[in-house]
Amino acid sequence: MKKRNLSAKKKIHNFYLEKLKNPKIKRIYSEFAKNLENYNSSKFSIAVSGGSDSMALTFLAKCHSIKNNLNYLYFTVDHKLRSNSTKEAIQTKKKLKKFGIICEILTWKSNKIFSNLQAKAREKRYELIFKKCLKNKVNLVLTAHQRNDLYENFFIRLLRGSGLKGLSSFQSNKTKINKNLNVFVIRPLLNISKKELSYITKKTFNFNIEDPSNKNDNYLRIKIRKLIKQLKQNGLTFEKFNLTLNNLNKSDAAIKFYVKKNIKENTKKLNIKKSVIINEFFFNQPDEIVFRSFSELIYNIGNKKGFTRGKKILSLIKNIKTMKKFKKETLSGCIFEKINKSIIISQEI
């Protein structure tokens, strides 16, 4: 490496190490680094949106890579849903380059109109990043989900009628978004507040993109955000909220135990690829155990990326239990056939 390049690299490293001397930033970094200790990886991929949270994540990740002498990958997605999205992606890339970070822009090219545009955009964002990760042999993606997101997702799922699993699942630090890809999403900032991350961004890069949708009251998340603000004024604290989540997680863990037990004792793999046979005792368990066990089997056997909607599964279970002449149905890439008192689930070709 040329002397000039070495000097520039040293200057950049000194910038990050100097910023870490700030007591507040140092404390947050220590928490961040601690949350990564369980992942034995030489490389992470960082999802950069350009927002205040993700810029703070990018700073923390760069510090972590310098301290551990590692090279991480940084990606931002131009979803083209707003007229300024391309300009914002380029701005983010240029700004980070000044701080020694090479951030690659991934573009979502689609002219289709989707009914749930935000959900589809999130799916495509992960899809583009995962594809790049696999190409670079990286299977851990860091995202900037933080404590406030934990609040918001809980209440959003509560309003949508989610069960115990849905209410507690977002608290997981490690999630597999696509079952067919060996890539995991890591959320190392869940116990850090948005206010703290904004402080880091302001004191370091002093740059972030403002998403106009954050001020749009038509979005459920923004309504929830205002509701949470009111609840905080009436005594809601993260400690109380976290205690509730921990209690929910304990209950969820107990249910998972019996789901695993039900599948182990009352199902059997067949010689046919991706097929299992379920005996009659499978359906004699409590409703939640049956529902989750059935959902798990459909997810593992079917050819869909995610879990099937609860209403469809409940309807199928009801048909199996009540229809005397139940013979065959299909759902989420699975075929369900009744033979005597048993049910065979096989992958739909």
Residue 140 pLDDT > 60: yes
In a domain, 257, yes or no: no
Residues 6+ apart with CB under 8 A from 190: 145, 146, 147, 149, 150, 171, 173
The neighbour count for residue 32, using CB atoms within 10 Å, is 22
Q: Are strands 140-142 and 45-47 parallel, antiparallel or unpaired?
A: parallel
DSSP 264-312: HHHEEE-SSTTEEEE-GGGGGS-HHHHHHHHHHHHHHHSS-SSPPPHHH
Query: In this structure, are 280 and 206 located in the same domain?
Result: no
Half-sphere exposure of 185 (CA within 13 A, CB side): 22
Q: Are residues 184 and 97 in the same domain?
A: yes
Is residue 241 in a domain? no
Domain co-membership, 115 together with 194: yes
- At 179-209, the pLDDT tens digits run 888 999 999 999 999 999 999 999 999 999 9
16 shares its domain with 138 = yes
Q: Is residue 256 part of a domain?
A: no
Tell me, yes or no, whether 106 and 168 share the same domain: yes
128 and 219 assigned to the same domain: yes
- For residue 244, being part of any structural domain is answered with no
CA nearest 291: which of 155, 162, 153? 162
Residue pair 69/96 in contact by the 8 Å Cβ criterion: no
* Residue 193 DSSP SS3: coil
Sheet holding 328-331, edge to edge: 267-269, 275-278, 342-347, 334-339, 328-331
d(CA 313, CA 331): 8
Q: Can you give the CATH number for the domain in which 130 is found?
A: 3.40.50.620
DSSP codes joined into one string, 106-169: EE-------TTHHHHHHHHHHHHHHHHHHHTT--EEE---BHHHHHHHHHHHHHTT--HHHHHH
Q: What average pLDDT does the structure give for the chain?
A: 89
My answer on whether 185 and 75 are in the same domain is yes
Whole-angstrom distance, CA of residue 349 vs CA of residue 347 = 6
User: 105 and 46, same structural domain?
Assistant: yes
| Domain-embedded: residue 228 | yes
Among 186, 216, 236, residue at a domain's last position: 236
Over residues 17-67, the pLDDT tens digits come to 999 999 999 999 999 999 999 887 778 999 999 999 999 999 999 999 999
User: Cα angle vertex 154, ends 151, 155, to 5°?
Assistant: 90
Residues 231 and 271 in one domain: no
Structural domain includes residue 134: yes
**Are both 218 and 150 inside the same structural domain?**
yes
- DSSP letters along 49-99, please? -SSHHHHHHHHHHHHHHHHTT---EEEEEE--SSTTHHHHHHHHHHHHHHT
In this prediction, residue 112 carries a pLDDT of: 64
**How does pLDDT run across 274-328, given as a tens digit for each residue?**
899 999 999 999 999 999 999 999 999 987 877 888 889 999 999 998 887 888 9
Largest CA distance in the chain: 81
Residue 247 lies in a domain: no
Distance of alpha carbon 346 from alpha carbon 277, whole angstroms? 9
**pTM summary value:** 0.86
Give CA–CA dist 194/103, Å, rounded: 23
Contact 275, 150 (CB under 8 A): no
Which domain does 229 fall in, by range?
Answer: 3-236
Q: How many domains does the chain have?
A: 2
pLDDT of res. 9: 81
pLDDT digits (tens, 9 = 90+) for 75-124: 999 988 888 889 999 999 999 999 999 999 999 887 566 666 677 888 88
**Which tokens sit at 174?**
């490690």
Is residue 164 domain-resident? Answer: yes
Q: Which residues pair with 347 in a beta bridge?
A: 334
